Amino acid sequence: MQSENQSVQRAEEQVQDNEIPTDNNQRVEEQAKANTESKEAQGESNAEPPVLSEPNKPTEEKFKCKQIAPDKCILLQNENGPCPLLALANLLSITNRIEINRDLSLEELLNLLCQYILSIQITNANDEKILDDTLKVLPRLNYGLDVNIYFDSIHVEYTDLLSPFELLRIQIYHGWVIDPQDQYYKVINNLKCYNKVVEEGIKDTVEGLVCREFLQQGQLTLAGIEALLVTVNEPCVFFYNNHFSVLTRNENKLYCLVTDEGYFDEDVVWQDLVLDGDCKFYNYNFQEFGTGNDDELARQLQQQYDYEEQQRQQTERAIEQREREQRHERVGTESTSSSKEKKKDCIIQ
């Protein structure tokens, strides 16, 4: 016991005098000395390394603002695609419910819409829920919107994704209405909506073949135009060829708002909705564009529109064909798996 006390006492004295160089301390000191000598040999200083400036971040892309009337502006789309957010904003702008007067980033546009939405008077619990859904859904509208259309009317199936339009009392219509005299009417009318027609279209049945052929047809019919002329009394959102735009009626004709950036410098605001695709362009007051000295420019604009329309339709058909093939493969795989299970259960004695 005395020997242990003496050892402890000596150890404490050594600690106080910093006289206990452990192996680790020795290695650390030797490494630090070696590093210092190496830096001095290479002419390096002990100064802190310079702080590099952060590279310039790319400027956020903005929706370009176009003045279409002395007191009205709309936002343009730089690429053709499903952008219900722009359709919503432009409809609110031309009906004087919001003011657009400059180029806007996506964040700025969403803030503008949210401010307007939050200013709406909510009077019942149902609208409270729709408001909550709207604030959740709104940012997603920039990337597209899945809609399930009914082929016996110009209406679409309501889902929570449509809550912004429901809250703002904005109608969404389409023009893909099947005529009772159409050869596909019986099958399509029984299925009612787009989603069920697509599901039936993957089957190797007579009805499946009818559905596939019907889906290859254009998404605008004479019956659809006639129904729109009867129903549309104020600007609405129009769904056509997977594209959302503002639709209005003037003197028994239907017009879609032109939002392509390619028309930024032209007095082109509307194009008429016609069945054969031979549409014309108009200014804000529905005066035809391209009269007089503008014939050649109008022809070029028409060619550009026709080309873009053709590209959209080809892309849509390719996507639908790929979806049908994928569904068909899944059905085939499930059928094969089911057959194997049945064979396992079948025991021959």
Higher-pLDDT residue of 330, 152: 152
d(CA 325, CA 332): 10
d(CA 41, CA 328): 73
Residue 98 has pLDDT above 90, yes or no: yes
Residues β-bridged to residue 236: 247
Separation in Å, CA 142 to CA 32, 70, 99, 107, 194 = 58, 28, 19, 11, 23
Highest mean pLDDT among 263-267, 274-278, 295-299: 263-267
Higher-pLDDT residue of 310, 272: 272
Local confidence band at 78 (pLDDT 50, 70, 90 cut-offs):
confident
For the residues of 146-176, what is the DSSP string, one character each?
A: ---BBTTSS-B---GGGHHHHHTT--EEE--
Q: What SS3 state is found at 319?
A: helix
d(CA 88, CA 80): 16
Looking at residue 3, what is its pLDDT?
42
List the catalytic residue out of 73, 211, 236, 243. Answer: 243
Local confidence band at 322 (pLDDT 50, 70, 90 cut-offs):
confident
Please report how the helices 295-345 and 194-201 are oriented relative to each other, as an axis angle in degrees rounded to 10.
60
Looking at residue 30, what is its pLDDT?
53
List CB contacts of 178: < 8 A, sequence separation 6 or more. 151, 152, 184, 185, 188, 189, 214, 221, 223
Looking at residue 20, what is its pLDDT?
37
Residue 15 has pLDDT above 50, yes or no: no
Looking at residue 2, what is its pLDDT?
41
Active site annotation includes 65? no
Is the Cα torsion angle 54, 60, 61, 66 positive or negative in sign?
negative
Predicted TM-score (pTM) of the model is 0.68
Residues β-bridged to residue 2: none
Nearest Cα to Cα of residue 283 among 302, 268, 293? 268
Local confidence band at 59 (pLDDT 50, 70, 90 cut-offs):
low
Question: What length is written for the chain?
Answer: 349
Local confidence band at 336 (pLDDT 50, 70, 90 cut-offs):
low
Local confidence band at 321 (pLDDT 50, 70, 90 cut-offs):
confident
Active site annotation includes 83? yes
Chain segment 176-224, per-residue pLDDT in tens: 999 999 999 999 999 999 999 999 999 999 999 999 999 999 899 999 9
Residue 97 has pLDDT above 80, yes or no: yes
List the catalytic residue out of 73, 83, 211, 279. Answer: 83
Side-chain half-sphere exposure of 98, counting CA atoms within 13 A: 25
Higher-pLDDT residue of 303, 217: 217
Looking at residue 341, what is its pLDDT?
53
Looking at residue 80, what is its pLDDT?
59
Mean pLDDT value across the chain: 80
